[in-house]
Amino acid sequence: MIFEGLSEKLQNTLSKLKSKGKLTEKDVKEAMREVKLALLEADVNFKVVKDFIKRVSDRAVGDEVMESLTPGQHVIKIVNEELTALMGSSQSKLTFSSKPPTIYMMVGLQGSGKTTTCGKLAKHLKKQQKSPLLVACDIYRPAAIQQLKTVGGQVDVPVFSMGDGTSPVHISKAAVEHANRQGLDTVIIDTAGRLHIDELLMEELQQIKAAVKPQEILLVVDSMTGQDAVNVAEQFHEQIGIDGVILTKLDGDTRGGAALSVRAVTQKPIKFAGIGEKIDEFEPFHPDRMASRILGMGDMLSLIEKA
């Protein structure tokens, strides 16, 4: 497999650095080329990679390293530090409104995993003694409402829907009133998948946001997304304003570089990871683990720890 070969090469280059007593600019350059390759192969956006390499290189050829007794190890440490800084180092939690119901809204491209994630989040919140309401605001995709109802049934959470003949703005408002009446403290709004360049549908999200003022707008991103992830994240963030990200389909074998891209352009934390199709295949997101997954080398971390 290409990935494995690549990370092996990267590891070799980095361990060669590690064993060197004195580094030349050429050594650093060669190592950075491998890091760049690994990141691109992992689908990290080109621009994000370029900035990253520049930051690492600047530090690596600076005094900090040259004065170090073990310059090779120092470079590796810098790579890791910068990667962690980009990815965020600590796990970021969901926030709750002081005035219930707390409203969460799922947004994202078509097929990214929003509806499934609504169910997963509902289950997660139920475990924390919350009483969620799922809201069917996808009036476009065939059988989207039925899908949410089935998902709701699986986690035993009520689903609010008004069919596909009412506007999502109206549905979301009515759902919040319904939650208030029923004493439900959490509202999770499922919205239709849409392209970030679809002006009409992006406006619809703005209107839902204005109507119900969600506590958090969560961008659901497929972890297999390629270079375009930055455009998607940037546009959703610019036009709607997102509070966090949920990364799905991490049970696949993608390196998941989209995580870095999304993080770099929005500066918003990735809060959860989807790790399967089943309702309980969902967990809090660990940025540090993601960083080493992207570079494809748990071993590199142990190299650094020894450094």
Ligand X SMILES: Nc1nc2c(ncn2[C@@H]2O[C@H](COP(=O)(O)OP(=O)(O)OP(=O)(O)O)[C@@H](O)[C@H]2O)c(=O)[nH]1
Which one of residues 120, 123, 196, 209 is an interface residue with another protein (CB under 8 A)?
Answer: 196
Binding-site partner at residue 275 among another protein, Mg ion, ligand X, none, CB < 5 to 8 Å by type: ligand X
Distant-in-sequence, close-in-space partners of 220: CB < 8 Å, separation ≥ 6: 106, 107, 108, 112, 113, 114, 117, 245, 246, 248
Is position 115 an interface residue for Mg ion (rule: CB under 5 A)? yes
At closest approach, how far in Å is the CB of 23 from another protein? 25
Is position 214 an interface residue for ligand X (rule: CB under 6 A)? no
The token pair that represents 227 in the structure block: 């270079």
The token pair that represents 267 in the structure block: 């500066």
Output 13-20 pairs: Cβ under 8 A, ≥24 positions apart: 14/72, 14/75, 14/76, 14/79, 14/300, 14/303, 15/303, 16/72, 17/71, 17/72, 17/73, 17/75, 17/76, 18/70, 18/72, 18/73, 18/76, 18/303, 18/307, 19/72, 20/71, 20/72
From 39-47, 168-176, 187-195, 293-301, span contacting ligand X (CB under 6 A): 187-195
Is position 113 an interface residue for ligand X (rule: CB under 6 A)? yes
From 19-27, 47-55, 109-117, 176-184, span contacting ligand X (CB under 6 A): 109-117
- Cα dihedral value 161, 98, 259, 157, nearest 10: -30
Site track for another protein across 231-270, x = CB under 8 A: xx--x-------------x-xxxxx-xx------------
Please list every residue from 118 through 177 that binds another protein, using CB under 8 A.
140-144, 146-151, 154
Is position 11 an interface residue for ligand X (rule: CB under 6 A)? no
- Binding site residues, ligand X, CB under 6 A: 108, 110-116, 138, 141, 144, 192-193, 195, 220, 248-249, 251, 274-277
